[in-house]
Structure 1
Amino acid sequence: MGHQHTTWLKSQLALNPCENVYLISLLEVTGTAQLNSPAGTLYGVFDGDRPVAAYWVGGNIIPVTASPGTNQVLAEMLNADGRYSCSLIGDRTIILDLQSRLNWGRARGVRERQPLLALSSDPVVEPDEAVVRATLDDLHTIYPASIDMFTKEVGFSPIEDGESNFLARVRGIIRCKNCYARISDTLPQGGPVPRWPATDRDEQVLFKADIGIRARRIVQVQGVWVHPEVRMQGLGAAGMAAVVKRTRDKGHTTVSLYANDYNEAALRMYSRVGFEQVGTFATVMY
């Protein structure tokens, strides 16, 4: 896509900001639809000179106002070029249709139904005041929690091929002030925090969540995790309420996230905080 398509792109992204927050954040930085960098490229599908759909193609493939017809156009290009993206993410109907048109072989994992949730008001449960931004001093306490979250959520370990890349990723999230956590050696009701196999530290993470994508008015939360020995005790809801409050206090009016439909405990927790479903995602991982 080119500079001349920027107005069209802005209008389409605004139709569903929770679904399109990643591209909204890119557009806010660059100011143009001509997005082409080592991280990825924004391609358009056109009816004559008029764009009818767009696709971000990088490590992830993300559709904008796509349809089965525009999926076929993209699939022909992707099949000819060969696979270099790791995952497809977006509206469930579009993503599963696109996957069916690709000859990339068996996917590593498919999350067919992921409720997309959003909250544009204050949380309805009391925030945990002990949840604060993590600092680099907390890196080696946060790191095992991040590994456990990724492994349980995605289905494979992020460090199975080595630790350096994932450690750098966690460090970057903390350095950019996008990780919120409650770190303590005691439980809220008193008593020591139970140990779990991934760490032998006295201070441990009880709750953590990352701001994975940040635009001016909306953010997407990722990497939500609660210490496995203290789950179902309200720490997740209070922690998420704190993340929502601190994020909204900084001017981001909407907090969004998506979760797997089989994670019923997490979905109940998000509902308690005040999140409501605004769409349904799917993720296909290669």
Structure 2
Amino acid sequence: MTYPNFAELLDQDPLVNLFVRNRVDATRLQSRWLGGQILGYFEDDELISACHAGNNIIPVQATPRAIKAFSEHLLSERIRPSSIVGPRDAVLPMWNLLEPRWGPARSPRLDQPFMVIDRDSALAPDPRVRPVLMDEFEILYPACVAMFTEEVGVNPEIGNRSGYRARVAQLISQGWSFAIIEDDEVIFKTEVGAATEYGCQLQGVYVRPDLRGRGIAGPAIAAVVQQVRRSVAPLVTLYVNDHNTAARRTYERAGFQHTTTFASILL
């Protein structure tokens, strides 16, 4: 499997495949940087589907036959990832095959609207939102840990604290971390987790718990969209748990539209 052929496959759905394309562009498929491998499924020497197989399992344009083949390979490799993430119509059939050996899931998230905005929000942007400075790392970091722990159910400092700190620092250094910081307190924050020339994906949206329900998130997200579209990529994406109605309504008010559905199996 060559990089150009794989890039063409990813570009069949450039927003849904954005995370994997970001990883591939950054690593050029060199396994020591990729942190895993890319599995390819071929028919008549043509690349039909692929799968990112590392800490995260992410199917790409996966057909039913490819899903079966990928699942059999993953089971034979005896790996144990932390999650399976991607389009629901690929993740759920894959999980049905993997669950007897890998289950039960710690947190199955079977309905996650994937949302996209391709223009500035109609909401007035909060002028306090700005890129985080590197010397604000220690101010931002506790909010990142709190958000990750709340959302994923695992403290990211357990097991690989240095790795998580490095990732937070990397996003700040790239200009991909945005926040409202007042009196050395994080009011709101989010990051661009991945980006390509087509679009980018927001992650880690957080409002300080005691300030939730006050309408902070909508204008803050509008400000992030405005800034990110000028500095990172023209389209902005994210995905959210279906049961998180408050977050969904916030994104909808900001102008995000539900375009497809993801699923995540946290192991």
Q: Spell out, residue by residue over 1:57-106, the C-alpha distance to the aligned partner (whole angstroms, 9 max, x if none).
A: 11111111112221111111111110242211101121111111122232
Give the TM-score, by structure 2 length. 0.92
Moved over 6 A (4+): none
Greater helix percent: which structure? 2
Would you say the 8 A contact 1:83–1:104 is kept in 2?
Answer: no
| Alignment-mate amino acid for residue 175 of structure 1 | S
Q: Counterpart in 1 of 2:7?
A: 10
Q: What's 2:125 paired with?
A: 127
Match for residue 54 of structure 1?
A: 50
Structure 1 residues 270 and 230: alpha-carbon distance in aligned structure 2, compared to 1, 3 A threshold: same
Kept in 2, the 8 Å contact 1:143–1:170? The answer is yes
Q: Which amino acid aligns with 1:16?
A: D
Alpha-carbon offset, residue 166 of structure 1: 2.3
Aligned to 2:40: 44
Match of 1:64 in 2: 60
- Structure 1: runs of 5 or more not aligned: 186-202
Structure 2 regions of 5+ residues with no counterpart? none
The 5 Å alignment of 1:27-176 reads 27-29=24-26, 35-38=29-32, 39-102=35-98, 103-161=101-159, 163-176=161-174
Q: Is the 8 A contact 2:123 2:222 kept in 1?
A: yes
1:162 Cα deviation after fit: 6.0
Q: 1:82 & 1:265 partners in 2: Cα distance? A: 39
Q: CA deviation at 1:208?
A: 0.3
Please say if residues 61 and 88 of structure 1, whose CA atoms lie closer than 8 Å, have aligned partners that are also in contact: yes
Corresponding residue for residue 198 of structure 1: none
- For the pair shown, the structure with the greater C-alpha radius of gyration is 1
Give the secondary-structure state (helix, strand or coil) at the position aligned to 2:158.
Answer: coil
Q: What does the per-residue CA deviation read over 1:204-255, in whole Å, with 9 as the maximum and x for residues that have no partner?
A: 1111010100112310000110111111222111111111101111261100
Counterpart residue number, 1:262: 243
Q: Is 1:271 aligned to 2:265, yes or no? A: no
Tell me by how many angstroms 1:180 deviates: 0.3
Q: Relative to structure 1, is the Cα distance of residues 162 and 58 closer, same or farther in structure 2, using a 3 angstrom cutoff?
A: closer
5 Å-filtered alignment, 1:195-234, equals 203-234=184-215
Contact 1:217 1:251 in 2 (8 A): no
Q: State whether residues 211 and 220 of structure 1, in contact with CA within 8 Å, keep that contact through their aligned partners in structure 2.
A: yes
Q: Which amino acid aligns with 1:106?
A: P
> Does the 8 Å contact 1:36/1:42 carry over to 2?
no
Is contact 1:82-1:104 (8 Å) kept?
no
The alpha-carbon deviation at position 27 of structure 1 amounts to 4.4
Query: What code does the residue aligned with 2:31 have?
Result: S
1:172 CA displacement: 2.1
Deviates more, 1:237-246 or 1:19-28: 19-28
Amino acid across the alignment from 2:259: V
**Aligned-residue CA RMSD in angstroms?**
1.7
- TM-score, structure 1 as length reference: 0.86
Q: Distance in 1 between matches of 2:238 and 2:151?
A: 14
Tell me whether 160-169 or 44-53 shows the greater mean CA deviation. Answer: 160-169
Residue 108 of structure 1, CA deviation: 2.2
Contact 2:15 2:198 in 1 (8 A): no
Shift of 1:182: 0.5
State the alpha-carbon separation in 2 of the partners of residues 137 and 10 from structure 1.
37
In structure 1, what is the Cα distance between the partners aligned to 2:230 and 2:163?
A: 32
Which is further off, 153-162 or 121-130?
A: 153-162
CA distance in 1, matches of 2:36, 2:160: 24
In structure 1, C-alpha distance between the alignment counterparts of 2:20 and 2:112, rounded to whole Å: 19
